[in-house]
Amino acid sequence: MIGNLPMILVGAVLIAVFSIIIGLLLMGFDRIVAARMQARIGPPLTQPFTDIRKLLAKENVVPENAIPWLFNLAPVLALASAITILLYLPIAGFAPVLSGGGDLILVMYLLTIPALALVAGGFASGSPYATVGAQREMVTMIAYEFPLAIVIIAIAWKLAAAGIALPFTLASIQANPVWSLVGPLGVIGLLILLIVLLIVTPAELSRVPFDTPEAETELAGGILVEYSGKNLALFSLTQGVKTVAMASLVVALFFPYSLAAILGIAGIPAAVTDILFFIVLITIVAFLSVSLVRVSMARFRINQVISVYWIYLAIAGLAGLLLVMTDQIVGVI
């Protein structure tokens, strides 16, 4: 482990730079697509870079009744934890920087840390709007964790049933795409699980229709109402990086394919091909789970968010799991 530390540090830096750049580009792409779907021109693709540069040049304003150290620590913790998630995910066909026997479980827990950092920052700001937003963020987080867990357990169960070692490891999923392990019933079940995960994604990112913790028209920005300058820039970067992380998780679980291997390409051209293919895949996932949804729907009330995840998506996820299990039993018979 100590001998590999330099390589891990280099990999972590490369992942951080890649995720920040691609995350900001995805945010710009989302704004352009949303604008065009609403018959507007929209900002340029590089607008998020301009916004971040302006925020980094501005002063941090800390409210008088805030807890300064926690208020300033929250955005740093959020961004660091979002980047850490990507260290455990295979990116563009490359092996994860960090790996272990239970990567999927660890990733599921790591996904909660940026949200908890937001909650801590909201409470630390001392604003009543931020306090309400933080409470809503906790409720939303509790709601979407259940269907997310169902999706992960379903895929890991299928790998274990197929006799694959370390089913909770992303490397195992990358080497054994789950679509190749199921029959017709299993394909239907996996499609349902994919839809569930795509609907979990906007809640993980606090995007419409699940942006009740921010709700600009109700809470004037909610959790982020008191944030400005460099702190707000870090939270904006966190959203971009977490968009890449959630899209990468969808790709890792359901589309762990190498285009270079399919085309028979090797060497540097293979790496470039797989990177471009990966960027296209996560862009498609971001469009389907974020852009299309937020343009098509209005914000849910917080009680509706709970109903969507604990009732409808939980039932859909369990149905997908049962179809995968039934497909396994039918295949054995």
Q: What pLDDT was estimated at residue 126?
A: 83
CA-nearest of 110, 85, 109, 105 to 97 is: 85
Percentage with pLDDT > 90 across the chain: 48
Q: Is the pLDDT of residue 2 over 60?
A: no
SS (H, E, C) 265-280: CCCHHHHHHHHHHHHH
Mean pLDDT score, 235-254: 94
* Residue 155 pLDDT grade (very low, low, confident, very high; cuts 50, 70, 90): very high
3-state DSSP call for residue 91?
strand
Q: What's phi and psi for 191, nearest 5 deg?
A: -60, -40
Q: How far is CA 208 from CA 211, 212, 252, 300, in A?
A: 5, 8, 24, 8
By residue count, the chain amounts to 333
Q: What pLDDT was estimated at residue 218?
A: 67
Q: Is the pLDDT of residue 220 over 80?
A: no
- Cα atoms in the Cβ-side hemisphere of radius 13 Å centred on 118: 32
CA 125 – CA 71 distance, rounded (Å): 6
* Residue 228 pLDDT grade (very low, low, confident, very high; cuts 50, 70, 90): confident
Strand partners, 94: 91
Cα dihedral 121, 82, 140, 279 sign: positive
Query: Read out DSSP for 184-232?
Result: HHHHHHHHHHHHHHHHHHHHHTT-TTS-TTT-HHHHTTGGGTT--HHHH
Cα 264-270-276 angle, rounded to 5 deg: 120
Q: What pLDDT was estimated at residue 253?
A: 93
- Cα atoms in the Cβ-side hemisphere of radius 13 Å centred on 314: 12
Higher-confidence position of 41 and 323: 323
Mean pLDDT score, 174-185: 89
Q: What pLDDT was estimated at residue 331?
A: 67
Q: What pLDDT was estimated at residue 211?
A: 81
Percentage with pLDDT > 70 across the chain: 96
Q: Over the stretch 258-292, which tens digit does the pLDDT of each residue have?
A: 888 888 888 888 888 999 999 999 999 999 999 99
* Residue 318 pLDDT grade (very low, low, confident, very high; cuts 50, 70, 90): very high
Q: Over the stretch 106-134, which tens digit does the pLDDT of each residue have?
A: 898 899 999 999 999 988 988 888 888 88
Q: What pLDDT was estimated at residue 219?
A: 65
Check whether the bond before 48 is cis (ω within 30° of 0): no
Q: What's the whole-number average pLDDT of the chain?
A: 88
